[in-house]
Amino acid sequence: MEFNNLLLEISDSIAVITLNRPKQLNALNKETIAELHQALEGLKNDAEVRVVILTGSGEKSFVAGADIKEFANFSVTEGTELAALGQTSLFDYIENYSKPVIAAVNGFALGGGLELAMSAHIRIASNNAKLGLPEVTLGLIPGYGGTQRLAQLVGKGRALEMILSAQMIKADRAYEMGLVNHLTELDELLPTAKGLAAKIAQNSPNAIHSAIKCVNAGYTDGMNGFKVEIEEFGKCFGTEDFTEGTTAFLEKRKPQF
Ligand code: CAA
């Protein structure tokens, strides 16, 4: 797959997608959103890939938000379409992706950049990372799911403070708040993300997909997470992964999924 704004590297069951618009601090324009969707769609059916890592190129920025230059003259209709298309084609898509997505946050994660990290299943940040939703300084609000996912991750009060004040928080504060799972030195960020990805990659892909569905169901209107868990648990019994996992345990060997 060839992209204008992304780099894609696959090794040892792990795909690393690097957002690559360093001059614009990797800001998300429409083309990048479309390319990210396309890249993930391609990786979905690639049995060699078990985990996806998202990161930004350069040492300064993960993603500095939606591309302000691109939407500066948008009308109400265009703005609504931008958010709707972005949310469904990328942010909700990542949240519901069948393989785990880890955001390796290597600098500014602002606006759509933090929203991208929050749509991933796991976040790891380098010590230099700065995170925030500064949209209200532009006369906007977060439009890629930020008002919802930030409140889910850190609680309503902290989310409202970050959104209304537009203030960036440093990586250590994001860690304290549970917004990121781990903190690392910048040069340890990708190795740490890959180490976690390698552990995940040893586990049953089928069970992992089921677990993602169940956790997400608990945060989805009209869905009962407990009910979905019962259904998904039952379905696991019909899979080759279940046969392999339980057989390997009984034979005192490691499972090969
Ligand atoms: N969109 C487009 N271009 C951006 C950008 C963005 N979100 N963020 C940075 N850039 C560009 C700058 O315009 C600049 O380009 P030029 O050299 O051509 O002028 C280049 O990246 C470098 O940026 P700075 O010179 O500003 O770098 P800095 O170190 O002084 O500041 C920064 C870094 C604090 C991240 C600052 O660039 C900034 O505040 N960026 C905007 C952050 C923001 O408001 N994000 C939210 C966007 S709205 C959104 O995301 C909506 C949504 O929810 C859907």
Q: Which residues pair with 182 in a beta bridge?
A: 124
Give residue 235's pLDDT.
98
Q: How far apart are CA 61 and CA 154, in angstroms?
A: 22
- Cα separation, 19 vs 7, whole angstroms: 7
CA distances from 144 to 94, 150, 213, 218, 240 (A): 12, 11, 20, 20, 37
pLDDT in tens, 19-51: 999 999 999 999 999 999 999 999 999 999 999
Q: What mean pLDDT is reported for the chain? A: 97
- Residue 67 Cβ inside 6 Å of ligand 1? The answer reads yes
Of ligand 1's listed atoms, the one at least distance from the Cα of 82 is: 54
ipTM greater than 0.90: yes
Catalytic annotation present for 135: yes
pLDDT of 200 > 90? The answer is: yes
pLDDT, tens digit, for every residue of 227-247? 999 999 999 999 999 999 999
pTM over the 0.90 mark: yes
- Mutational test site, ligand 1, from 68, 91, 116, 131, max ligand atoms within 8 Å of CB: 68
Question: Is the CB–ligand 1 distance for residue 134 below 6 Å?
Answer: yes
For the chain, give the number of residues.
257
Q: Are 124 and 193 in contact (CB under 8 A)?
A: yes
User: Per-domain residue ranges for the chain?
Assistant: 6-201, 205-250
What Rg value do the Cα atoms of the chain yield, rounded?
19
Is the separation of the CB atoms in 171 and 183 below 8 Å? Answer: yes
- Cα 77 to the center of its chain, rounded Å: 27
- Quick one: pLDDT at residue 134? 98
207 CA → ligand 1 middle, Å: 39
Q: Is the CB of 108 under 6 A from ligand 1?
A: yes
Is residue 67 predicted with pLDDT exceeding 90?
yes
Residue 198 has pLDDT above 90, yes or no: yes
For 5-18, write each residue's pLDDT tens digit.
Answer: 999 999 999 999 99
Contact of 65 with 175, CB cutoff 8 Å: no
Q: What is the CATH number assigned to the segment(s) 6-201?
A: 3.90.226.10
Could you tell me if the CB of 27 is within 6 A of ligand 1?
A: yes
What's the pLDDT score for residue 1? 78
